Amino acid sequence: MLIIPAIDLKDGHCVRLKQGAMDQATVFSEDPGAMAKHWRDQGARRLHLVDLNGAVAGKPKNEAAIKAIVQAVGEDVPVQLGGGIRDLDTIERYLDDGISFVIIGTAAVKTPGFLHDACYAFPGHIMVGLDAREGKVAVDGWSKMTGHDVLDLALKFQDYGVEAIIHTDIGRDGMMTGVNVEATLELARALTVPVIASGGISNLDDVRKLCAVEAEGIPAAITGRALYEGKLDFAQAQKLADELAEKA
């Protein structure tokens, strides 16, 4: 199980939100590059970035910070990025900048043709972020609920050729109330592409619960707020995940 630290970017700073509310941002670092190096030095094998301003604006807004992060970790640590990616030119630019995986969220739901084109143009580099509450998908930085069922969309996007689905339970994200293992597992069992767990991971128990179902198709988990608030020690979490994998 890969534990992936999240770096959420707002106005060039590293922040965390509670349930996606931009007005409830807590700044954790004013140097995104240094934060990325910190996680690499702690043993992170991948980083998860979100351009929060970009997600709201529908276009990239933190490119300088994103470039600084990619430069800081070099080629050793793949970086996946989401937030405001709405056209193929943006994807190409990010991949040229050294981003390994581009995450399409709102645009995948609203304009599935774009996602289809992206998977065709950049095979192996496109992930989809599905943010859900009680099985229904939310868009536009979680501000709008849709009637779309998570599973239906995930199956459709799998057929397009996405690399992975990132499943976030938005009722739990940033709240540190524990990960929604049941909903993530249900999705993973229905799909053949990997499902990355996100939202609510708060302690080593959550890591244990996810590792117990890793073989069902959940190879990685994203965590943010718990790391920054000291509730979860990253190096300890990854070490535990590695030890459990060896025993499995």
Helical residues (DSSP H) of 74-220, grouped into ranges: 88-96, 106-110, 112-121, 150-160, 181-190, 204-212
The Cα–Cα gap between 25 and 101 comes to 25
Decide if 8 is catalytic. yes
Tell me the helix, strand and coil percentages in the chain, rounded to 5: 45, 25, 30
Q: Residue 180 carries which DSSP code?
A: -
Beta strands 2-10 and 13-16 are antiparallel
Q: Which residue, 185, 248, 241, 245, is CA-closest to 218? A: 185
Nearest alpha-carbon partner for 166 in 102, 85, 215, 212: 102
Residue of 51, 131, 169, 173 marked catalytic: 131
Q: Which residues contact 236 (CB under 8 A, 6 or more apart)?
A: 204
Provide the annotated active-site residues. Answer: 8, 131
